[in-house]
């Protein structure tokens, strides 16, 4: 098995890990009313599953993160050359960075480092506020997040994500609707988080900012339950992608050979 094939295998594991994190987020809301983001779900699984589970999750997240960054750099998912394709690749880069950060958190948990459990979005807003024009930067981040949320909603309506699945599975109602409600719920959460950033930037108060955890905690009954069901669908769809998504190999072997030749 070459390096590209190993990365593809780890990417499938990464899809499964991402799905599991969203299943945990939905489970915690539905069972206890507790709002968490993917980092909080990772801590929850680490507390209950131990070192082995954290190691498996870290490996999957690393593979998934590298694959997303490879897509951004080399267009391995064959996005169009229009504005939408550019946005897809920018989103892939952001997703890659986020999931590599989650992998780093999993490794730190394996090493016994205590997690602060703070809101990274709020911390980032606080850092931005200390810069010249920080309020504008935070508002720009909010607009981007709202835009990402809208794109997720568009995905839910158009269901173009089904094009990446094996055709036989893509025709199944359970695959279609788990993805639709999942992307719709995720899009709404991103839009709420973007609103928090816009408010924080406009008022120049970093404590107004917040990510998924704050957005889910802000929702009241029955909307928190509705969104939780949607995120449950996204978690299920992640597991479907882990098994049935058609993946193009990242050109890792060529990169390694070129690096060796230069040395």
What integer pLDDT is reported at residue 255 of this predicted model? 53
The conformation of residue 164, written as its DSSP 8-state character, comes to: G
In this structure, how many other beta carbons lie within 10 angstroms of the beta carbon of residue 248? 16
Query: What is the rounded average pLDDT of the residues 187-206?
Result: 92
Give the lowest-confidence range in 50-54, 180-184, 234-238. Answer: 50-54
What integer pLDDT is reported at residue 110 of this predicted model? 86
What integer pLDDT is reported at residue 180 of this predicted model? 98
**DSSP collapsed to 3 states, 112-155:** CCCCCCCCHHHHHHHHHHCCCCHHHHHHHHHHHHHHHHHHHHHH
Report if pTM > 0.85: yes
Asked whether the beta carbons of 82 and 33 are under 8 A apart, the reply is: no
Q: Which domain holds residue 177?
A: 3-262
Name the residue with tokens 């109602």.
Answer: 173
The number of distinct structural domains making up the chain is: 1
Provide the 3-class DSSP secondary structure of residue 76: coil
Query: What is the rounded average pLDDT of the residues 84-98?
Result: 86
What integer pLDDT is reported at residue 85 of this predicted model? 80
CA distance 118 to 140: 22
CA distance 181 to 186: 8
What integer pLDDT is reported at residue 139 of this predicted model? 93
Using one digit for the tens of pLDDT, what is the confidence trace for 104-148?
999 998 887 655 556 677 888 888 888 888 889 999 999 989 998
- CA-closest candidate to residue 123, choices 49, 56, 214, 43: 214
């Amino acid at each position: 098995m070459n390096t590209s094939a190993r990365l593809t295998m780890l990417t499938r594991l990464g899809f499964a890990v991402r799905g599991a994190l969203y299943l945990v987020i939905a489970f915690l809301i539905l069972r206890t009313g507790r709002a968490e983001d993917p980092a909080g779900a990772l801590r929850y699984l680490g507390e209950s599953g131990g070192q082995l589970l954290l190691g498996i999750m870290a490996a999957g997240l690393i593979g998934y993160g590298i694959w997303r960054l490879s897509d951004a750099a080399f267009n391995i998912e064959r996005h169009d050359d229009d504005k939408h394709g550019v946005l897809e690749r920018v989103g892939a880069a952001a997703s890659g960075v986020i999931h590599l950060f989650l992998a780093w958190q999993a490794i730190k948990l394996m090493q016994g480092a205590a997690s602060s459990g703070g809101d990274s979005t709020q911390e980032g807003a606080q850092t931005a506020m200390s810069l010249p024009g920080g309020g504008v930067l935070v508002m720009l981040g909010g607009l981007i997040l709202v835009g990402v949320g809208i794109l997720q909603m568009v995905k839910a309506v158009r269901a173009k994500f089904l094009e990446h699945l094996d055709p036989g599975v893509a025709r199944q109602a359970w695959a279609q609707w788990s993805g639709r409600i999942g992307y719709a719920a995720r899009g709404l959460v991103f839009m709420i988080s973007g609103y928090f950033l816009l408010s924080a930037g406009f008022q120049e108060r970093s404590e107004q900012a917040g990510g998924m955890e704050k957005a889910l905690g802000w929702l009241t009954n029955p909307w928190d339950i509705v969104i939780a069901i949607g995120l449950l669908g996204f978690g299920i769809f992640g597991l479907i992608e882990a098994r049935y998504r058609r993946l193009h190999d990242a050109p890792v072997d060529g990169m390694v050979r070129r690096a060796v030749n230069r040395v």
